[in-house]
Structures are given as C-alpha cells and as structure tokens.
Chain A
Amino acid sequence: MDSAMPQPKGRTLFEIENLRKDYPMGEVTVHALRGVSLQIYSGEFLVILGPSGSGKSTLLNIIGGLDAPSGGRVRFKGQNLTTYNDAQRTQYRRRNIGFVFQFYNLMPNLTAEENVELATEIAPDPMPAREALGLVGLQERRTHFPSQLSGGEQQRVAIARAVAKRPEVLLCDEPTGALDISTGKLVLRVLADINKRLGATLIIITHNAVIGEMADRVVRMADGTARDIIVHATRRSVEELQW
C-alpha cells in the first residue's frame, strides 16, 4: 500500500468544505459530521471506511442529495448543493445520482426489467433496461419478480437500476453488507466494471478494509471527520483481494 502523492484521476466533481450535520435531540445534540472537507474527482473509485456511527452514511446521503447539511458546503461541478431546496435536490438526484443500498429496495410489484425501467423512464439519456441488466449479467432473469431472485441477484438488479440512467455518480452504502463473500465479490466486480467501462464516479461505503484496495482512494472516517485519505497508484481487481 503506497501513499504516494495525490493523483487526481479527472477534474474535481465534488468540493466538500467543512461539512457539518447536527441532530438536535432535545438536551443533547448529536454531531454526525463535524467539518468534513474532501474533493471527489470525476471518474474515480472512492471507498469510505470507518467505524459504525462515524458519519459515513450521513456524508453519502448529503452528497447524494437525500439530506441537507447543517453547515458547510458541497459543490457539485461548481453548483452549491447546500442551497438546493427539496425540488431541486430531486432534480439533481434524477439527473446525476445512482444509489445502491445494503437493502435492495426493489419494487416487489415490478419485474426486474420493470424495476430498471423505473429509472430509465425519468432519466434524460438512459441506456435500455435490458442493456443495464446485461451489465450485471441478469438478462435472462428480466421477467422475474424480486421475490423470485436471490439476495445477490436482487442487489445486481438494484445496481442495474442505479446505472441505467447513466449517472455521473454511483453511491453505494454497504452494497455487500447483506451478502455472502462470493456473492459480495460478484457485486463488487460489477460495480468496478461499471466504473471502468462507463466512467461513472463510484463511491462505496464499507466496513471491509480489504475492499479499499480496489479503489483509487480510500477515505477513513472517524467521529464525524475525514481522518485521512489514502491514494492508490494501482487498483487491484476483486480476484486479487485476500478476505
């Protein structure tokens, strides 16, 4: 692991300055983020590591426009996200962000393909739903309902759904958290592949430090701050990882 000089992969996509998030809980206030500053570059693969409660999800949700910060700033391509209202954040998510969560959040009423179409229907320049399912290797299962798919398959559908609108950024909060090792690897490979082939910026939250080796950079969070950033000169492939 070499911590060489920072080598940005592309231009700056996110500029995060002194980002704070407080949860006033009656008497006490929980400080989920206590001033995070970070640059995220276009097309990079970034892994966020950190103990439970360190503010990883909070950070990701703010970046993804799900949540508004209490202080500080997030700039996306020069636009200040922090001033967005709810409707603007919705538009921002619609255009730019693909989310993948630990739980797959598929519509139980829709087939795999229809779940993906859900995303393509509202995106300005989507890829065909079948192509997206092809990317995750599930073309043959497209007419199946979520309840007819395994957890890993459901997660891949979720990824296909996130990817289908060709988002600039793919945000994944513990995407392998609910999966066994080999399925987890499969999912990671799909994600890394998409990052490489489509050039989408990929941000993954994980508890598994090993996954960090696949990334261009690793941010370590602790206590609501970005403790340190590790930059990798080369990324490893999933097969090279030692679990």
Chain B
Amino acid sequence: MVIGVLHRKLLRTIFRSWGQSLAVIAVVVCGSACYITIYSAYLNLRLTRDTYYAQCHFADFEIMLERAPAAAVFKIAEIPGVRHARARIVRDVNVDIEGVDEPRIGRIVSMPNPRAPVLHDIVVTEGRYFEPGAQSEVIVNDRFAEANGLQLGDRIHVSMEDKKYPLRIVGLGLSAEYVYMIRNVQELVPSPERFGILWVPTDFAETALDMRAACNNILGDVDRPEELDLILDQAEKLLKPFGVFAKVKREDQISNRFLSDEIHGLGVSARIIPTLFLGVAALILLVLLNRMVRMERTQIGLLKAYGYSDWTVAFHYVEYALILAVAGCLGGFALGARLSVGILRLYVDFYQFPLLEFRVYPDVLTWAMGLSIGFAVAGATFAAVRAARIHPAESMRPEAPRFAHRIWLERFPRLWRAVGFTWKMILRNIGRNAFRASLNIFGVAVSTGLLIMGFFTMDAMYYGMEYQFNEVQREDVKISFQGERGRDALYDMQRFRHVRYAEPLLEYPFEVRAGWRKKDIIVIGLPQEAQLLKLMTFRRGEISIPERGVILGDYLAGELGVVPGDRILMKPLMGRVTREREVVVHGITEQFLGTTAYMDLHALSRILDEPFAMNAALLRIEKGAEQAVNRAFKDIAGIASVGFREKAYQSLLDTLAESMRIMNVTLLAFAGVIAFSIIYNVTSVSLAERQRELASLRVLGFTAGETGSILYYENFLLGVIGMAFGIPVGMFLSRLLVRAYESDLYRLPFHIDQTTYVISIALTTGFVALANWAVRRKIHGLDLVEVLKERE
C-alpha cells in the first residue's frame, strides 16, 4: 500500500523526534485546555447567572433612600415602562453570635410574609420560610452561617436602634442579589464569616428599625432596559422628598458588576489565550515542517517521479500537523476536564450560587478540536505548498546553497576580529536564519511578558492595598453612625476606654456635575490636619485638605474631565438641602478603590447648612484592645457599624494570596511551555541542520560542551534580546489589564515592582536553560561517524 508506507514514515518521524513532537503537543494541549476550561466556565457562569437571576427575579434597578413611605412604591410602579416595584428595608447591623467575639455585620433585608414572588427573591436551601405572623425568625445566608458555625434553630442577636433582638434561624438561603457577597466596594473580596445577609419578615424589620409603613430601598424591573435612565430620572423626581442617595442600575449593582465583569473577562480570555497558544503551535509547526520539506526535497522529488500527486505529497506534511493537533487536543480534553474542576473550586469560593454545575459542552469540545486543527493546518500550509511545488527533476539537484554572507558587524573589522569564532558562527547563523531567530526572540518575549503581567497583577493588588490600608487609611477602628451627629459624638468617642485618639468624618452622597458629565458619588469630609485618613498623590506625597474646594479621586476627575482649577457642581442626594453648589477642584488624589471626593469637614457641613456634622469617627485605640472596643461599641444605639482596618486588610490579603497563587502557578506553567517549546524546537531544527558542522567540530577535537555552546550561547543571546522585548511587552499587557479592569468600583494601579522584572527574567532564563539542557542530550548523543558518512 503506497499510502501506508507514507503513513509509516510519518509516524516514525513523529516518534523519532519525540521531544519535538511532545513540545508541539504540549502547546496544543495548553491551548485547547485553556479554551475548554475558560470557554466552558464562561458558558456555565453565564447560564447559571441567567437562570438564577430569572429564578430570583433580579431587579433592573434599585433606589436607596433615607426613608420613604412604603406607599411611594406605587408611584414608582406607575411610571410608564416599569413592570413591578418592591419596597423593602435594608440596613446593616451588628450581629451577636454566641462564642464569637469578633465583629460580625449582618445586612437586614426585609422579605414579605407570607411568601410572595418578589424582585430579588431568595432561594431557601435548608429549613423553611417564615411562619405566618412570625416576628423573630430569620433566614441566614448559608455561607455566613457555615463560616460562623450557625445551624437551623440557633439563635443570634441583632442590635437595632436601642434594642437587642433575638432571632431564631429557621432557614438558610441565598439570593441572586448577593452572588458576590461583599458589603461595599472597599471590601473587594467576600469574607463570609464577617459579613452576611439576614432575611427577616417585613413586620419585624418595620418594628425593630422603627420604619413602620416605611422603606429605604425600592426595587423595580422594566420592560425595556434602554429606558432605564429615563425611568430613574422620573423616579428620582417622585422620590425627591425622601432623600434618594443612590440609584443603581442592574449593571452597576455590586454583586452583578463583579460577576458580570468576571464573565466578560472570561469571554475575552477565551478568545485571547487559546489563540496565543495555538498561534505559537502554528509557528513552531511552520518551522518544523519547512525544515522537513527542505531536508526531504530529494525524497519528495522521487515520490513525485514515481507518480505521487502533488496533493498526496503536500497532504503528507499537513497530516503531520494534524496528528500532533489531534493528539494535543485530546490531551487538552483531559487537562481541560481537570482544570475545569479547579476553576469551579475557585468560583465556588468567591461566588454563591444555589447550584453551580460545571458541564463541558460537546460544542466546546468540537470547537476546541476545530481550532486546534485549524491553527495546526495553517502552520503546515506553507510547507505543504512548498512540497507541492517541488519539481521532480529539479529536486535531484541540490538546493542552491544559501549564501553565507557578511553581517553588518563585519563592517567594523577591528571589532569583528576581536570576536571569537564561536560568536562569529552564532552571529552569522542568526543573520542567515532571521525568521527562526525572530521566532525564538518572540517566544522569549511572550513568555517574559506573560510572567511580568502575571506578577504585575499581584504587585498592583498589593501595592493598591498597601496604599489603601497603610497610607490612606490609618485608623484602627471606624465607627459609622446612623445619621448625622454634632461635635458631641466626637467627644463621646474620645471618652471611651482604650480610645487614644478620635477624628470625625462625614460621608455624604452627592451628585457631582461638570458640564454634561455627572456622577453620583460619596463625598468625604475630613478635619484639617487629619491624621487617620490621608490623601495622597502620585509618588505618594500627602496633600493637605484645602479650607474650600474639593479634592477628587483621579478616576473621578478623569470621568468628569476636570483638572485642578476647574469648577464642578455638587448637589446633596439626601437631606433637606437640595440646591447645587459650585466648588473649585483643588487637587487630585490617587485612588484605587471606589470613586470619592474629599473636602474639609466644615466646608462640607456648610453645604448641608450645618455648622458641624459627622456620621462616622476614626479611632486610634490601645494595642490589643480590639475585642474590648468591639464589645463596647456594637450595642450602642445609633452606631451602625464598627470596622477594624487591620482585620479587613488581613482577610483581603489572605483571600487574594490563595487565588493569586493558583493563577500564578498556571501562568508560570503557560509561560514555561511557550518558551520551552519554541526554543527547544527551533534549536532542534537548527541542530538537525547543522549536525554536520557540529560533528566536524567534534572531529577536530572540540568537546561536546564546547560544540554545544554554539547553540547554547545563540539561545542565550536571542533570549537576552527576547527578554529586552519582553519587558515592554509585559508593560503593555499590564496596561491593557489596567484598562480592562478600570471601573467605578476599583482600579489596578499601574505599578510593577523591580523584583517582578528580576524574577520574570530569571524564570525565562531558566526556561532557556531548560531548553538548552534538553537539546544537550542530542548534542552529546551525536554519532560522529554516522553523520560524517552522509553525503553533503
């Protein structure tokens, strides 16, 4: 069988150069596994989100207000385009759990009793819904319960207004509203033991929070989401008297924002990462097959002389690529299945779904196979066409020698003479095989770039958090009050045991406007010479708070398109005062979390027509007094919450460290595979072509090491060039990432540590060394007698 023989030749080639074949396969495995994992995750998360949202009737908008009559909701429901509206009470409270001394914050969310299908409905995973007329029953978010060792039937106590209420846990539940359960953007990652959701019957919430027939949160859904802005404007007008301080569209809802950003990110990654790998595989195949066609020129000619068609011969080389692609993709299926489990575990840590299934869809597998094959065949095409074009008669003559020519360095004879012949060979060889050299450089550059980008995310997060928790925030404890207080509140704080120092803070929602651009934000009022909250600029200089004028976060300034000296309009979103004030932008502060503006506390108070107002206090306390302070404050009427900076910082660090570790190990593996495969393959091709040269060096009495160093040094030289390119590549990728993740909620600071460069370069050097080490085997195994026997 004629075809049979060709097949055998092919398989033999693949097995004989198993190192190279495996290296190509490894890249395809990575590519297809990434595609399968990421794309499945994308589809699964999207599907889960959509079903879950539908099941829970996820609201299209949420309006947060001070206090409105519950009946106001009917006015909202009447706005044309609004389908349903729901009034509810939402309030963060301190939770007392037996045996837990640390502060626990629960978000009270009122639910109808008896149960009715409502917007932002919940799923009861264990236990039951409230009994009719029940007062002191609660359904607890199941993660919070689990983290705090709470079970059905347990009792917890919540402090509301002046009283402490016992609540019995009758159910554990989840809500689409809190898939990503964080209290506010500052927290960044969920910590289910410190913050959870408590669903209570509306009756109870009204009584305990002194909100009879009132609400502070209105939800709604609409017919057409594109009308949302209009509808919200109308709603704001209607609700104006009740102090609207935030209108949140579905897309800006915190949990949904994080989840949807993640899903969107997955969608983008599912396109980019596999393309990168499969593209690299295609390039390697291009080099491998080109060399193979060049080496087998005469055989190809012979086959054609015997009567094989151009097509058969060309397909022979495509088939090589096909076999590697299919093998790689099958490996990708296996790896993909494993990674999918890993990624699932990661998502389960961060997101709460009633049921997060992880299916691998047949379509995805088909696509993965199609893409792997597509890229591989694309890589093989050039060589195949070349093979098809070979004319049988011509092929018997040796290919015209590629002229060894002088390279530009030789124009400086004195310099050139100083170059040892090893380097002469290396430099001329690079000049002769520019494409292969470029591919080598490309591989190293991509690998270095990927590493830098990976470490950058870590640098940026740590830098950002360090900045936020050590430079900007300097308090030990932050106490938030319910509503505004006068100066007395500060003196009260200072009188507490363990409190060494206290500073007032006023956080107030405003609409800020510059021309047609506007944004709803929180403005923070600080005392002059504030010690516990510092504003910083680039290069980490402190800026002082001006007596008049406002300091904007850098992202906010960008969004509003203003620079220092410009004027903006500020309008309070709640309270009595509703008129707009013009304020000068005094400066800009670097800000990675949230979108806020800062003013002098007195100036901000004056805007609200008060001489002095505060609604939070920052405290510095004695060392080790955290628990005592928590116990002292959490039951005091009018205190909404007690937050400890160090704890928040620590838990953030812990959570991120774990997910970063997983991400970086993966990235390291990817970067390694790319660098190794490219270098190993390119070097192997080079070695095969230069066997005779290297063998004659050995005959002359060069040791295997000396001979190999020609290849090793060449790789290191190209590696150094690649790394030099890799640094800007890494910076570019990091900038892309900064751009991709920029939002109102948080931004990544563009900050790359020196050590990141050092480590990335060290690792890539390691990959180059590893590839050299793998090639070493071939150099030492070179059979001199055999090589020299062959015709030139």
Among the stretches A12-20, A118-126, A221-229, the one at the interface with B is A118-126
Asked whether, in the complex, the Cβ of A103 is within 8 Å of the Cβ of B792, the reply is yes
| Contact partners of B692 in chain A: CB under 8 A | 103, 105
| Contact partners of A64 in chain B: CB under 8 A | 699
| Contact partners of A105 in chain B: CB under 8 A | 692-693, 695-696, 699, 788, 792
Contact with B along A102-145 (1 / 0, CB 8 A): 01111111100010011101110000000000000000000001
The verdict on A61 contacting chain B, using a C-beta distance below 8 Å, is yes
Distance from A70 Cβ to chain B, minimum over Cβ atoms (Å): 14
Among the stretches B74-82, B423-431, B657-665, B764-772, the one at the interface with A is B423-431
A→B interface (CB under 8 Å):
57, 61, 64, 66-67, 86-87, 90-91, 93-95, 97, 99, 101, 103-110, 114, 117-119, 121-123, 145-147, 161, 165
Contact with A along B400-412 (1 / 0, CB 8 A): 0101110000000
Instruction: Give the secondary structure class of B's interface.
Output: helix
The verdict on B698 contacting chain A, using a C-beta distance below 8 Å, is yes
Asked whether, in the complex, the Cβ of B701 is within 8 Å of the Cβ of A95, the reply is yes
Query: In the complex, what distance in Å separates the CA atom of A101 from the CA atom of B787?
Result: 12
Asked whether, in the complex, the Cβ of B700 is within 8 Å of the Cβ of A118, the reply is yes
Asked whether, in the complex, the Cβ of A122 is within 8 Å of the Cβ of B404, the reply is no
Asked whether, in the complex, the Cβ of A108 is within 8 Å of the Cβ of B401, the reply is yes
Known A61-B785, A107-B693, A108-B693; contact A93-B404, beta-carbon cutoff 8 A: no
Query: In the complex, what distance in Å separates the CA atom of A241 from the CA atom of B322?
Result: 60
Asked whether, in the complex, the Cβ of B699 is within 8 Å of the Cβ of A99, the reply is yes
The verdict on B432 contacting chain A, using a C-beta distance below 8 Å, is yes
Asked whether, in the complex, the Cβ of B788 is within 8 Å of the Cβ of A109, the reply is no
| Contact partners of A109 in chain B: CB under 8 A | 404, 424-425, 428-429, 432, 693
| Contact partners of A165 in chain B: CB under 8 A | 701
Distance from A128 Cβ to chain B, minimum over Cβ atoms (Å): 14
Asked whether, in the complex, the Cβ of A103 is within 8 Å of the Cβ of B791, the reply is yes
Asked whether, in the complex, the Cβ of A145 is within 8 Å of the Cβ of B404, the reply is yes
Asked whether, in the complex, the Cβ of A114 is within 8 Å of the Cβ of B421, the reply is yes
Query: In the complex, what distance in Å separates the CA atom of A93 from the CA atom of B701?
Result: 5
| Contact partners of B482 in chain A: CB under 8 A | none
Query: In the complex, what distance in Å separates the CA atom of A239 from the CA atom of B392?
Result: 43
| Contact partners of B785 in chain A: CB under 8 A | 57, 61, 66-67
Asked whether, in the complex, the Cβ of A93 is within 8 Å of the Cβ of B421, the reply is no
From the candidates A110, A117, A147, name the one contacting B403 in the complex (CB within 8 A): A147
B→A interface (CB under 8 Å):
401, 403-405, 420-421, 424-425, 428-429, 432, 692-693, 695-704, 706, 784-785, 788-789, 791-792
**Selected A-B contacts with CB under 8 Å, 28 pairs:** A57-B789, A61-B785, A86-B704, A87-B703, A90-B701, A91-B701, A93-B701, A94-B702, A95-B701, A103-B788, A105-B692, A105-B699, A106-B696, A107-B425, A107-B693, A107-B696, A107-B697, A108-B693, A109-B404, A109-B424, A109-B425, A109-B428, A110-B425, A114-B421, A118-B697, A122-B700, A146-B404, A161-B700
From the candidates B424, B698, B704, name the one contacting A114 in the complex (CB within 8 A): B424
| Contact partners of A87 in chain B: CB under 8 A | 703
Asked whether, in the complex, the Cβ of B401 is within 8 Å of the Cβ of A147, the reply is yes
Known A61-B785, A145-B404; contact A93-B700, beta-carbon cutoff 8 A: yes
| Contact partners of B424 in chain A: CB under 8 A | 109-110, 114
Query: In the complex, what distance in Å separates the CA atom of A117 from the CA atom of B723?
Result: 33
Query: In the complex, what distance in Å separates the CA atom of A65 from the CA atom of B792?
Result: 22
Distance from A109 Cβ to chain B, minimum over Cβ atoms (Å): 4
Known: A90-B703, A105-B695, A121-B421. 17 other contacts (CB 8 A): A66-B784, A66-B785, A91-B701, A93-B699, A94-B701, A97-B701, A99-B699, A103-B792, A104-B792, A105-B792, A109-B404, A109-B429, A110-B421, A110-B428, A118-B700, A145-B404, A147-B404
Distance from B253 Cβ to chain A, minimum over Cβ atoms (Å): 65
Known A110-B421, A147-B404; contact A122-B702, beta-carbon cutoff 8 A: yes
From the candidates A91, A94, A146, name the one contacting B700 in the complex (CB within 8 A): A94
The 4 closest A-B pairs by CB, nearest first: A94-B701, A105-B696, A93-B701, A109-B428
Query: In the complex, what distance in Å separates the CA atom of A103 from the CA atom of B696?
Result: 11
Asked whether, in the complex, the Cβ of A101 is within 8 Å of the Cβ of B788, the reply is yes
| Contact partners of B789 in chain A: CB under 8 A | 57
| Contact partners of A90 in chain B: CB under 8 A | 698, 701-704
Distance from B699 Cβ to chain A, minimum over Cβ atoms (Å): 5
Query: In the complex, what distance in Å separates the CA atom of A86 from the CA atom of B703?
Result: 9
Distance from B691 Cβ to chain A, minimum over Cβ atoms (Å): 11
Query: In the complex, what distance in Å separates the CA atom of A118 from the CA atom of B700?
Result: 8
Instruction: Return the chain B residue nearest A118 by Cβ.
Output: B421
Distance from A112 Cβ to chain B, minimum over Cβ atoms (Å): 11
Instruction: Return the chain B residue nearest A98 by Cβ.
Output: B700
Instruction: Return the chain B residue nearest A90 by Cβ.
Output: B703
| Contact partners of B425 in chain A: CB under 8 A | 107, 109-110
| Contact partners of A118 in chain B: CB under 8 A | 421, 697, 700
Distance from B426 Cβ to chain A, minimum over Cβ atoms (Å): 9
| Contact partners of B421 in chain A: CB under 8 A | 110, 114, 117-118, 121
| Contact partners of A86 in chain B: CB under 8 A | 704
| Contact partners of A61 in chain B: CB under 8 A | 785
Instruction: Return the chain A residue nearest B400 by Cβ.
Output: A147
Query: In the complex, what distance in Å separates the CA atom of A110 from the CA atom of B407?
Result: 12
Query: In the complex, what distance in Å separates the CA atom of A57 from the CA atom of B786?
Result: 11
Distance from A161 Cβ to chain B, minimum over Cβ atoms (Å): 7
| Contact partners of B701 in chain A: CB under 8 A | 90-91, 93-95, 97, 122-123, 165
Instruction: Return the chain B residue nearest A94 by Cβ.
Output: B701
Distance from A166 Cβ to chain B, minimum over Cβ atoms (Å): 13
| Contact partners of B696 in chain A: CB under 8 A | 105-107
Query: In the complex, what distance in Å separates the CA atom of A150 from the CA atom of B424?
Result: 23
| Contact partners of B695 in chain A: CB under 8 A | 105
Known A66-B785, A145-B404, A147-B401; contact A119-B428, beta-carbon cutoff 8 A: no
| Contact partners of B698 in chain A: CB under 8 A | 90
Distance from A8 Cβ to chain B, minimum over Cβ atoms (Å): 28
Of A66, A108, A110, A165, chain B has the most CB atoms within 10 Å of the CB of: A108
Query: In the complex, what distance in Å separates the CA atom of A95 from the CA atom of B703?
Result: 12
Asked whether, in the complex, the Cβ of A108 is within 8 Å of the Cβ of B404, the reply is yes
Distance from A148 Cβ to chain B, minimum over Cβ atoms (Å): 8
| Contact partners of A161 in chain B: CB under 8 A | 700
| Contact partners of A108 in chain B: CB under 8 A | 401, 404, 693
Distance from A133 Cβ to chain B, minimum over Cβ atoms (Å): 15
Instruction: Return the chain A residue nearest B706 by Cβ.
Output: A122
Query: In the complex, what distance in Å separates the CA atom of A211 from the CA atom of B355?
Result: 90
Query: In the complex, what distance in Å separates the CA atom of A6 from the CA atom of B181?
Result: 101
Query: In the complex, what distance in Å separates the CA atom of A105 from the CA atom of B411?
Result: 27
| Contact partners of A106 in chain B: CB under 8 A | 696
| Contact partners of A94 in chain B: CB under 8 A | 700-702
Query: In the complex, what distance in Å separates the CA atom of A122 from the CA atom of B698?
Result: 12
